[in-house]
């Protein structure tokens, strides 16, 4: 049985505890560490598990007999904690965004290579059945080559979202909606369409005056194949209408699920191709669902990777690709220029310090609290079903 330590006891920690505990006895959470033992103990009590609470993450990792560590602390701590755990022989599942910069991702990937341990990055949306099946359907190619992709990562967060002390500052949060919320959809974009080769972006902050960071970014993309794309990110959108839209040569495939297959009439106007539509819908039905959904899918995937010595579906490299595209969106938004990928390590946007030094401050952060009022949170993809 795999023994798991969870670092962080905030809004997402119980979700990870429950995910590992749901794998039919293959994993058990043995400890939770946070800044205060009381908040770690609260997660333990809430989840009804037999585990120890720590206020020092290093002690938790060193004292507990464990092989997996889940890092769910603020992003500025991900690299330090993940590298420490990997160097002490633990497999690591690190929350999104993987780190504060591509350079931090490279340090984590290097630590995983040196230690021979697995590094996985939280991307639970990949393990939602409609998204999992859409990825497979696109990869099989029956819809033809990709021409255009539009991803809308539209969320709503009220202004008090940025009152939490580490949010709303480039220094501690690392970015605005593109980095924190759209990271889920940018991951899906890169996973399903590949990394673009060219990015042109604009950024703004319309409705969050306690944050230095952007609350909207719009990016135009060009892929190495010549396909074009649009990656739109915002936290000002009523109803949070999130979607993925892939226009391929023979059909378009969307999440929420919709397939459209048209051919030309003699006058070039569209008419449905019922045969192709039927075939694509039938194949979509046949594609097996992931073994477990969402966070449990991630936990199961990491365990599978450990036991078969293979790469997890959501690997360190894929977390890095996501941050590379985000860095390019920031570089283009800050400089007003089109940015080419891969991102050069010489670019200031390769490093967290370079991002901090070069991004616009939309507002000054004035209010800071250690904890927001408890209320349910809505997780990524819940509104893409």
Ligand X SMILES: NC(=O)c1ccc[n+]([C@@H]2O[C@H](COP(=O)([O-])OP(=O)(O)OC[C@H]3O[C@@H](n4cnc5c(N)ncnc54)[C@H](O)[C@@H]3O)[C@@H](O)[C@H]2O)c1
Q: Applying CB under 6 A, which residues contact ligand X?
A: 7-12, 33-35, 39, 57, 72-75, 77, 95-96, 122, 124, 164, 180, 379-380
In angstroms, give the least distance from the CB of 213 to ligand X.
Answer: 13
- Comparing CB distances to ligand X, the nearer of 77 and 221 is 77
Nearest approach, Cβ of 244 to ligand X (angstroms)?
Answer: 17
Indicate the residue among 75 and 196 with the shorter CB distance to ligand X: 75
Which CB, 327 or 380, lies closer to ligand X?
Answer: 380
Q: Residue 55 or 198: which CB sits closer to ligand X? A: 55
Give the nearest distance from C-beta 141 to ligand X in angstroms: 30
| Shortest distance in whole angstroms from residue 195 CB to ligand X | 21
Nearest to 306 by CA among 66, 84, 139: 66
For ligand X, which residue has the nearest CB? 10
What is the closest distance, in whole angstroms, from the C-beta atom of residue 243 to ligand X in the complex?
Answer: 18
Query: Looking at beta carbons only, is 33 or 201 nearer to ligand X?
Result: 33
Give the residue with the Cβ less far from ligand X, 96 or 157.
96
Burial of 11 from C-beta contacts in 10 A (0-12 / 13-18 / 19+): middle
d(CA 21, CA 281): 35
Minimum CB–partner distance for residue 55 and ligand X (Å): 7
Q: In the complex with ligand X, which residue's Cβ is closer, 124 or 242?
A: 124
Give least dist CB 275 to ligand X, A: 39
């Amino acid at each position: 049985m795999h023994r798991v330590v969870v670092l962080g006891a905030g809004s997402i920690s119980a979700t990870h505890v429950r995910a590992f505990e749901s794998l039919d006895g293959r994993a058990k959470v043995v400890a939770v560490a946070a800044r205060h033992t009381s908040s770690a103990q609260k997660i333990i009590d809430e989840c009804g598990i037999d585990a120890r609470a720590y206020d020092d993450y290093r002690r938790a990792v060193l004292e507990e007999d464990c092989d997996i560590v889940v890092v769910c602390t603020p992003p500025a701590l991900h690299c330090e904690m993940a590298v420490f755990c990997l160097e002490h022989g633990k497999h690591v599942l690190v929350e999104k965004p993987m780190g504060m910069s591509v350079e931090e991702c490279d340090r984590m990937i290097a630590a995983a290579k040196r230690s021979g341990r697995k590094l996985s990055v939280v991307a639970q949306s990949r393990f939602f059945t409609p998204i999992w099946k859409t990825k497979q359907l696109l990869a099989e190619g029956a819809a033809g080559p990709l021409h255009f992709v539009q991803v809308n990562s539209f969320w709503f967060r009220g202004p008090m979202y940025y009152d939490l002390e580490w949010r709303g500052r480039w220094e501690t949060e690392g970015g605005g909606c593109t980095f924190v919320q759209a990271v889920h959809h940018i991951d899906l974009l890169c996973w399903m369409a590949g990394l673009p080769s060219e990015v042109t972006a604009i950024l703004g902050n319309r409705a969050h005056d306690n944050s230095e960071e952007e609350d909207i970014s719009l990016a135009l993309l060009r892929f190495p194949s010549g396909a074009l794309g649009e990656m739109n990110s915002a936290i000002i959108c009523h109803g949070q209408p999130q979607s993925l839209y892939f226009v391929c040569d023979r059909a378009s495939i969307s999440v929420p699920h919709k397939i459209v297959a048209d051919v030309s009439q003699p006058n070039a106007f569209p008419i449905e191709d019922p045969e192709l539509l039927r075939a694509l819908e039938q194949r979509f039905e046949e594609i097996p669902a992931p073994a477990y959904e969402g966070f449990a899918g991630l936990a199961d995937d990491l365990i599978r990777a450990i036991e078969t010595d293979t790469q997890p579906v959501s690997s360190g490299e894929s977390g890095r690709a996501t941050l590379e595209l985000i860095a390019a969106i920031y570089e283009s938004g800050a400089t007003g220029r089109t940015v080419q990928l891969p991102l050069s390590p010489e670019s200031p946007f390769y490093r967290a310090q370079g991002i901090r030094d070069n991004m616009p401050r939309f507002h000054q952060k004035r209010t800071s609290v250690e904890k927001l009022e408890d209320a349910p949170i809505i997780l990524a993809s819940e509104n893409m079903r």
